[in-house]
Chain A
Amino acid sequence: MTAPVDTTMEAAHGQGWAERLDRRSGGIMVLPAVIVLLCFAIFPLIISAYLALSRFALAPGGFTLKFIGLTNFRKVLVGSQQYHLLGQFGAFGLVQWLSVGLVAAGLLVLLGRYFTRGGPTVLGTVGRVLAAAVAMGLTMLAVATVAPGGVPGTVVNTLLYVVVGVFVQFALGLGLALLCGQPIRGRNFFRVVFFIPLMVTPVGIAYTFRMLADMQKGPFAPLVRAFGVGEWSWATEAWSARLMVLIGDTWQWTPFMFIVLLAAVENQPRDQVEAAQLDGASGFQIFRDITWPAIAPVAATVVLIRLIEAFKIIDLPNVLTGGGPGLATESMTLHSFISWRTQDLGSSAAVGYMLLFISTIVCVSFFNFVVRPARRFEA
Chain B
Amino acid sequence: MNVEPRSLARRLFEPASIDSQAPVARVVTYALLFLWTLIVLVPLYWVLITSFKGPGDVDNGPFYLPFVDFAPSLNAWNFMLVENPTLGPYLNSVVVAVSSTLLAVLIGSLAAYALVRIRFQVKLAAIAVFLILLAAVIAAVATFGVKWQVAVSVAVALFGIALFTLVGRTKAAVGNTDIEFWIISNRIMPPIVAVLPIYVMFQQLRLLDTQVALIATYTAVNLPIVVWLTRDFFAGIPLDLEESAEIDGASKFRVFFTIALPLVRSGLVATFLLVLILAWNEYLVALFLSNVEAQTMPVLVSAQNTTRGPQWWNMSVLIVVMIAPVVVISTLLQKHIARGLLAGAVKG
Consider the complex of A and B and state whether they touch directly, i.e. have CB atoms less than 8 Å apart: yes
**Contact across chains for B40 and A208 when beta carbons are under 8 A apart:** no
**Contact across chains for A203 and B111 when beta carbons are under 8 A apart:** no
A327 contacts B by Cβ under 8 Å: no
Cβ of B283: which chain A residues have Cβ within 8 Å of it? 201-203, 315
Cβ of B200: which chain A residues have Cβ within 8 Å of it? 47
Measured CA separation A44–B201 after assembly (Å): 9
- Residue from B185, B195, B223, B338 within 8 A of A191 (CB atoms): B338
B272 contacts A by Cβ under 8 Å: no
Q: In the complex, what's the smallest C-beta–C-beta distance from B260 to chain A, in angstroms?
A: 11
Interface residues of B in 108-123 (CB under 8 A from A): 108, 110-111, 113-120
Measured CA separation A164–B337 after assembly (Å): 28
Q: In the complex, what's the smallest C-beta–C-beta distance from A195 to chain B, in angstroms?
A: 6
Interface residues of B in 273-305 (CB under 8 A from A): 277, 280-281, 283-284, 297-298, 301-302, 304-305
- Residue from B111, B118, B223, B330 within 8 A of A192 (CB atoms): B330
Q: In the complex, what's the smallest C-beta–C-beta distance from A224 to chain B, in angstroms?
A: 11
Where chain B touches its partner, the secondary structure class is: helix
Interface centre among A41, A193, A314, A349, by most chain B C-beta atoms within 10 angstroms, is A41
Cβ of A41: which chain B residues have Cβ within 8 Å of it? 186, 189, 194, 220
**Contact across chains for A184 and B30 when beta carbons are under 8 A apart:** yes
Interface centre among B116, B142, B327, B346, by most chain A C-beta atoms within 10 angstroms, is B346
**Contact across chains for A267 and B342 when beta carbons are under 8 A apart:** yes
With A7-B246, A29-B110 known as contacts, the answer to whether A353 contacts B40 (CB < 8 A) is no
**Contact across chains for B198 and A176 when beta carbons are under 8 A apart:** no
Cβ of B248: which chain A residues have Cβ within 8 Å of it? none
**Contact across chains for A203 and B302 when beta carbons are under 8 A apart:** yes
Q: In the complex, what's the smallest C-beta–C-beta distance from B270 to chain A, in angstroms?
A: 9
**Contact across chains for A40 and B43 when beta carbons are under 8 A apart:** no
Q: Mark A349-372, 1 if CB is under 8 A from B, else 0.
A: 100110110011001100000000
- Residue from B196, B223, B326, B345 within 8 A of A48 (CB atoms): B196
Q: Mark B199-232, 1 if CB is under 8 A from A, else 0.
A: 0110000000000000011011101110110000
Cβ of A183: which chain B residues have Cβ within 8 Å of it? 19-21
**Contact across chains for B118 and A188 when beta carbons are under 8 A apart:** no
Q: In the complex, what's the smallest C-beta–C-beta distance from B195 to chain A, in angstroms?
A: 8
Q: Mark B165-207, 1 if CB is under 8 A from A, else 0.
A: 0000000000110010001011111111111111011000000
A219 contacts B by Cβ under 8 Å: yes
**Contact across chains for A65 and B189 when beta carbons are under 8 A apart:** no
A171 contacts B by Cβ under 8 Å: no
Measured CA separation A198–B337 after assembly (Å): 14
B79 contacts A by Cβ under 8 Å: no
Measured CA separation A221–B63 after assembly (Å): 11
**Contact across chains for A263 and B342 when beta carbons are under 8 A apart:** yes
Cβ of A196: which chain B residues have Cβ within 8 Å of it? 40, 44, 323, 327
Where chain A touches its partner, the secondary structure class is: helix
With A179-B32, A263-B346 known as contacts, the answer to whether A33 contacts B107 (CB < 8 A) is yes
Cβ of B50: which chain A residues have Cβ within 8 Å of it? 211
Q: Which of A134-142, A143-151, A332-340 is near enough to bind chain B?
A: A332-340
**Contact across chains for A2 and B220 when beta carbons are under 8 A apart:** no
* Nearest B residue (CB) for A220: B62
Q: In the complex, what's the smallest C-beta–C-beta distance from B101 to chain A, in angstroms?
A: 14
A39 contacts B by Cβ under 8 Å: yes
**Contact across chains for B33 and A180 when beta carbons are under 8 A apart:** yes
Q: Which of A20-28, A73-81, A87-95 is near enough to bind chain B?
A: A20-28
Q: In the complex, what's the smallest C-beta–C-beta distance from B163 to chain A, in angstroms?
A: 13
What total of chain A residues lie within 8 Å of the partner, measured CB to CB? 112
B61 contacts A by Cβ under 8 Å: yes
B11 contacts A by Cβ under 8 Å: no
Q: In the complex, what's the smallest C-beta–C-beta distance from B24 to chain A, in angstroms?
A: 12
A105 contacts B by Cβ under 8 Å: no
Cβ of B129: which chain A residues have Cβ within 8 Å of it? none
Measured CA separation A285–B166 after assembly (Å): 61
B138 contacts A by Cβ under 8 Å: yes
A98 contacts B by Cβ under 8 Å: no
Interface residues of A in 1-18 (CB under 8 A from B): 1-2, 4-8, 11, 18
**Contact across chains for B183 and A33 when beta carbons are under 8 A apart:** yes
Q: In the complex, what's the smallest C-beta–C-beta distance from B284 to chain A, in angstroms?
A: 7
The 7 closest A-B pairs by CB, nearest first: A40-B220, A44-B194, A26-B118, A29-B114, A44-B197, A47-B197, A263-B341
**B residues at A contact (CB < 8 Å):** 18-21, 25-26, 29-30, 32-33, 36-37, 39-44, 46-47, 50, 58-62, 64, 107-108, 110-111, 113-120, 131, 134-135, 138, 142-143, 175-176, 179, 183, 185-198, 200-201, 216-217, 219-221, 223-225, 227-228, 235-236, 239, 243, 246, 251-253, 256, 277, 280-281, 283-284, 297-298, 301-302, 304-305, 310, 312, 315, 318-319, 322-323, 326-327, 330-331, 334, 337-338, 341-342, 345-348
**A residues at B contact (CB < 8 Å):** 1-2, 4-8, 11, 18, 21-22, 25-26, 29-30, 32-34, 36-37, 39-48, 50-51, 65, 67, 175-176, 179-180, 182-184, 188, 190-205, 207-212, 217-219, 221-222, 251, 255, 259-260, 262-264, 266-267, 274, 277-278, 295, 297-298, 301-302, 305, 308, 311-312, 314-315, 319, 332-333, 336-337, 340, 345, 348-349, 352-353, 355-356, 359-360, 363-364, 375, 378-379
**Complex A-B: 15 CB contacts under 8 Å:** A5-B117, A29-B256, A30-B110, A37-B186, A47-B142, A184-B30, A195-B330, A202-B281, A210-B310, A218-B61, A305-B228, A312-B191, A352-B190, A356-B193, A379-B347
Given contacts A175-B32, A201-B319, 5 further A-B contacts (CB under 8 A): A30-B179, A182-B25, A182-B26, A200-B323, A356-B189
